[in-house]
Structure 1
């Protein structure tokens, strides 16, 4: 396992993938936002979006990552905030001579929470993603991974998430195999490179020119990519976060831990005893209480 340090992540470029797990956008009420976006197939992701651009003079320039807390924003009213359980892919970025992206090189994966505010009518996805410090969460321990092949080292890895409210812990997102992503492995990496080089923003879509933002950040050497959120359990689909909730996201090796074992240990507050797992646990605090 690799220990991550927040100070080391301040120079990374942060972006995410929309629609990389069948059914998530529909559950999140966001499928209609992509009506005018043309994808290669119904199963393909819809596009990429920025959530952190180091040095940028907009809200995207605020460092949003935290290991243990989640800020519930003041606006809109009501604030419908949801966990977005994802795999966070830490990767190196190789550039071509003309400054375009040549390749993404996997380095590690970690549990990641692409926590989102449901803002109907928001002009861009990024407006739902970074509202300041502690918007996003990443686990402090990551698996060192250089091969994302569906039949490679992560073929038995799974992603699960839970909400702990008071003394009750319930499943929030469906416990899902990592190769269950619509795009995974080299297919995902090649698609990400293509999108960084060719995706352009348009007024009638929620997407932006993420490659231009990457260049504006000075072509950083590394990126942290949220590769997509899983479907929700019925409880997760209808339950928004409140102050003092605990959001738990875990990426684990199912050859070491069975799904029911993981759920049981998290219900018993013993997630730190999971040996083959990257665990993110965040306590929610409400900015309106400041």
Structure 2
């Protein structure tokens, strides 16, 4: 299996976008269902749309590089939640002011950490509060084929918080294939949204963000957050918390392997992308 050790600095040359509402019930649990009620989708379980979290050289907060592999800046925000996701590192084809193709090359564990303030502003404003707002694993895995018979079909997402020495499940363990949209369906949907999404409710028109796309190396896509456990629904991040997000081959690694890794046993999780962050 081909692994890729990511140097976080590389991502300064990528455009960062997230998929909103790609797991059943996540928006409701995150307190965002009302804000998204104005967004109508063609299919009941379709994602709601895409949002930017990092646009290099943008003259707003979106120009701040927010990604870290080891820490989260709490920033004294009352209601911060982990969002455990699969990140897709992608190439693209952009011609004649239109996105033609997205080519996912690598995947890994991602924390689309979010401020849950309900202020009626765009979703993007809750995603980037400067350095260390987001998290990505340094250990990415090569995508053989972004199809249902490819490597990602075997992977699960799990997330945890360790607080005062006590480990808690934060997100429900979820198969990557249980995303509402994934593989070709997600790719085709994203291409369409990048070209056609309009400013509505918590979402923005995307065309202005990708106008100069060809200046940049690639796309970093956060594919959507899992549902929360009871603990995750009701407990927000505190300084000193340890965050763990695992995207692991569930046909190869057991859940027990993941638990032992967090307890400090020196396991070699050969088919896993792991993110470990401290809240500061």
Q: If the length of structure 1 is used for normalisation, what is the TM-score? A: 0.92
SS at 2:227 equivalent: coil
| 1:1-290 to 2 correspondences below 5 Å | 1-75=3-77, 79-96=78-95, 98-202=96-200, 205-216=201-212, 219-266=215-262, 268-270=263-265, 273-285=268-280
Contact 1:106–1:146 under 8 Å retained in 2: no
Partners of 1:242 and 1:256 in 2: how far apart? 33
User: Displacement of 1:221 after TM fit?
Assistant: 3.4
In structure 2, do the counterparts of structure 1 residues 186 and 281 end up closer, same or farther at CA, with 3 Å as the change threshold?
A: same
Q: Which runs of 5+ in 2 are unaligned?
A: none
Partners of 2:18 and 2:187 in 1: how far apart? 13
Partners of 2:259 and 2:180 in 1: how far apart? 25
Q: If the length of structure 2 is used for normalisation, what is the TM-score? A: 0.96
Partners of 2:137 and 2:252 in 1: how far apart? 19
Contact 2:35–2:202 under 8 Å retained in 1: yes
Contact 1:251–1:278 under 8 Å retained in 2: yes
In structure 2, do the counterparts of structure 1 residues 55 and 272 end up closer, same or farther at CA, with 3 Å as the change threshold?
A: farther
SS at 1:163 equivalent: strand
User: Displacement of 1:272 after TM fit?
Assistant: 6.2
SS at 2:34 equivalent: helix
Partners of 1:146 and 1:206 in 2: how far apart? 35
User: Displacement of 1:216 after TM fit?
Assistant: 4.6
* Structure 1 vs Structure 2 CA RMSD: 1.4
User: Displacement of 1:209 after TM fit?
Assistant: 1.3
Partners of 1:271 and 1:198 in 2: how far apart? 48
User: Displacement of 1:219 after TM fit?
Assistant: 5.0
- Deviation sequence 1:67-89 (CA, Å, 0-9, x none): 100001235xxx10000000000
